[in-house]
């Protein structure tokens, strides 16, 4: 199990090992996080919350919501509607994680202020 928390600790949880670590470069992820969103996938029902008093959800599109801490503002989750899976922000995990990004998605929406400087696969859309 991996431990994770927001910056202030109002949201703390454990997660099983995350799958499919990726970097999402879509406009919404960049606006929410301030850069691209690095996240891994887990089943929502496999997360165990120690504290969730700060957890808030924002309806970001017609098909997904974004979870964050309402106290410190930390970006924590992305969840598609009706999906049993959630994307967990890699930055929320206590390290070391042993994870490595495996791909970049929504690269056609990447910001013009940075270059994707690795050799990982790139997908224009997620």
What pLDDT, on the 0 to 100 scale, is given for residue 126? Answer: 61
Tracing tokens 């990447």 back to the chain, one arrives at 110
Instruction: Give the burial class of 9: count Cβ atoms within 10 A of its Cβ; 0-12 exposed, 13-18 middle, 19 or more buried.
Output: middle
Note the pTM of the prediction, 2 decimals: 0.92
Res 41: pLDDT: 97
Query: Tens of pLDDT along 58-93?
Result: 998 899 999 999 999 999 999 999 999 999 999 999
pLDDT digit string, tens, across residues 9-59: 999 999 999 999 999 999 999 999 889 999 999 999 999 999 999 999 999
């Amino acid at each position: 199990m991996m431990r994770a928390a927001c910056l202030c600790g109002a949201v703390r949880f454990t997660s099983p090992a995350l799958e499919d670590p990726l970097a999402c470069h879509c406009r919404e992820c960049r606006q929410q996080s301030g850069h691209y969103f690095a996240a891994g996938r887990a089943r929502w029902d496999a997360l165990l919350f120690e504290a969730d008093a700060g957890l808030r959800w924002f309806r970001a599109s017609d098909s997904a919501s974004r979870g964050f801490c309402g106290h410190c503002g930390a970006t924590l989750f992305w969840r598609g509607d009706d999906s049993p899976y959630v994307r967990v922000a890699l930055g929320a995990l206590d390290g070391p994680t042993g994870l490595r990004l495996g791909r970049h998605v929504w690269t056609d929406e990447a910001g013009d202020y940075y270059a994707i400087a690795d050799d990982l696969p790139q997908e224009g859309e997620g």
